[in-house]
Amino acid sequence: MRVNHILLASHGSIGGRAAEKAAIELARENEAELSLLYIVPDFWRGMRGDDWLNNAITQEAFGNYLESQLLNEARQETRRIASMARQAGVEIEIHAMFGKPTECLLEAVRKIKPDLVVIGSPRPKGMPGYRSRIYLETVTRALPCPLLILPHPLLDAQA
């Protein structure tokens, strides 16, 4: 498959890392542009600890701490992915968004106009981790380009 611009959506999960490797390899093979979309899910919005912290100052401090942790995590992940791309000789453009993953992905596709979107498969049942997800039916109905979903590495190991 010949592509000129790939949009990779990853947040560093095991499935996302499989997508990262595939997208970087496809970009290298095709000498394609690579854009990374890192989404901070909006379920963090408004998390201030008001159910267990008893005053507004403490709640604000907790909220600021949580936001700084999310920002640090986003920086670490995007730097890690950018480093992998550069090591493969692939230039990468980074986009970060805050919101619902499906909506953010579709908005990024409208802006970036990739030839291919690459994502990891959903986490298998019973595996720990956040349950933010991209709703595949919504995405496949709205995408103007192909979608490549990489199988979860743990599913491959179990087969």
**Residue 17 near residue 124, CB atoms below 8 Å:** no
Q: For residue 12, what pLDDT is reported?
A: 85
**Domain boundaries, given as residue ranges, for the chain:** 15-158
Token look-up 């994502």 returns: 119
Signed CA dihedral, 55, 59, 60, 65: sign only: positive
Could you give the 3-state DSSP secondary structure of residue 11?
A: coil
Strands (E), the chain: 5-9, 33-41, 92-99, 116-120, 147-150
Digit-coded pLDDT (tens) for 12-40: 888 899 999 999 999 999 999 999 999 98
Architecture of 15-158 per CATH? 3-Layer(aba) Sandwich (3.40)
Give the global pTM: 0.85
Instruction: Extract the residue ranges of the chain whose pLDDT is less than 70.
Output: 1, 43-54, 128-132, 155-159
Q: How many CA atoms lie within 13 A of 138 on its CB side?
A: 11
- How far apart are the C-alpha atoms of 46 and 119, rounded to whole Å? 27
